[in-house]
Amino acid sequence: MSRIRSAIVCAALLAASVQVVAAQDYPTQPVRIVVPFGAGGPADIYARFLGQHLQEAMGQPFVVENRPGGGAVIGTEEVVRSKPDGYTLLMMSNTHTTNETLIPGKSYKLMTDLAPVATVHYSDLLLVVHSSVPASTLEEFIALAKSKPGELNYASSGPGTPYHMAGELFKAMSGTDIVHVPHRGSGEARASVLGGHVDMMIDAITTMAPNHESGQVKALGVTGRERADRLPDIPTIDKAGVPGYTATIWLGLMAPSGTPESIIEKLNAEVNRILEREDVQAAWAKQGAKPLIMSTSEFQTYLEDDIVKWAEVIKVSGAQVQ
């Protein structure tokens, strides 16, 4: 029996030493960051930003690959099927925690088939309407929507995305009937609103604020609990007509389940070092984003809590995949 115990201890020590060596050498080749959303959206923009800085810090290219479709399911499935060696990562968002309830029949389970690596940032959203919509305030827009049930529409980057859920929550809490028009990515959704093909969108401040500032759309409210530093003149939706309304978008990195813990911890440390830099925080503040810095265990809890949160929102709003 003592020999068996000794063998088990030796095997454990050997496995631990292999993990340490793997982390010390990692990475020895390019790393893929799969973005399951279209080009030009927040996940794509910040994945490229992070990839550039990780390359500088770790000495290997971090290559971003966009795999949009299926409300982020297609790109996520590709990561789940990838070898768990640290060379394929997923740039994910609260789309993924929402999909745990909204798309129960997908081929993977977020907390089983993927491992938390690092959080990246969060930002409030911005409700905008095309300049042709006859409403200059949120109160006017709600009145317009109520006078034309089912006639106005809103764009999203697909089912389960923060833009979709923010829209459904807005409808439920404002008592309006606005038709959801899903797109393959946030870039396409944004273009539909800018072109006047869709009336409204709740989009990330980081990507939509410039369009409001240039006069292409009218911003009627921000989704945070306080006014956004980027757009201090725009009221919160909570104060402008829908009491209690809040919504955000956040981003994080995950890896296939089974990826060596030592590699995950190394990536977490490197990402957090980038997010702690004052120049990064200052640049993101101007864009309307705030770094989200957590340990892997904190991220695990954050994900679990977010799944529960969005399950309740889906129940209240009645949101469905179209």
Tell me the pLDDT tens digit for each residue of 241-277.
999 999 999 999 999 999 999 999 999 999 999 999 9
Task: Write down how long the chain is.
Answer: 322
Tell me the pLDDT tens digit for each residue of 138-163.
999 999 999 999 999 999 998 889 99
Residue 288, beta-bridge partner list: none
Sequence-distant (≥ 6) Cβ neighbours of residue 284 within 8 angstroms: 121, 290, 291
Sequence-distant (≥ 6) Cβ neighbours of residue 230 within 8 angstroms: 205, 209, 286, 287, 288
3-state secondary structure of 136: coil
Q: Note whether 212 and 146 are same-domain residues.
A: yes
Q: Note whether 111 and 97 are same-domain residues.
A: yes
Q: Note whether 60 and 205 are same-domain residues.
A: no
**Structural domain includes residue 13:** no
Q: Is the pLDDT of residue 174 over 90?
A: yes
320: confidence class by pLDDT, cuts 50, 70, 90: confident
CATH number of the domain to which 91 belongs: 3.40.190.150
How many C-beta atoms surround the C-beta of residue 100 within 10 A? 22
Nearest to 138 by CA among 249, 213, 234: 234
The span from the CA of 51 to the CA of 86, in Å, is: 14
**Structural domain includes residue 49:** yes
Residue 22: predicted pLDDT? 59
CA 105, distance to chain mean position in Å, is 21
Q: Which pair of tokens denotes residue 11?
A: 């095997």
Residue 266 structural domain: 29-122+249-317
Q: Note whether 61 and 163 are same-domain residues.
A: no
Tell me the pLDDT tens digit for each residue of 287-317.
999 999 999 999 999 999 999 989 988 888 7
Q: Note whether 84 and 186 are same-domain residues.
A: no
Q: Note whether 154 and 55 are same-domain residues.
A: no
Q: Note whether 253 and 110 are same-domain residues.
A: yes
**Structural domain includes residue 7:** no
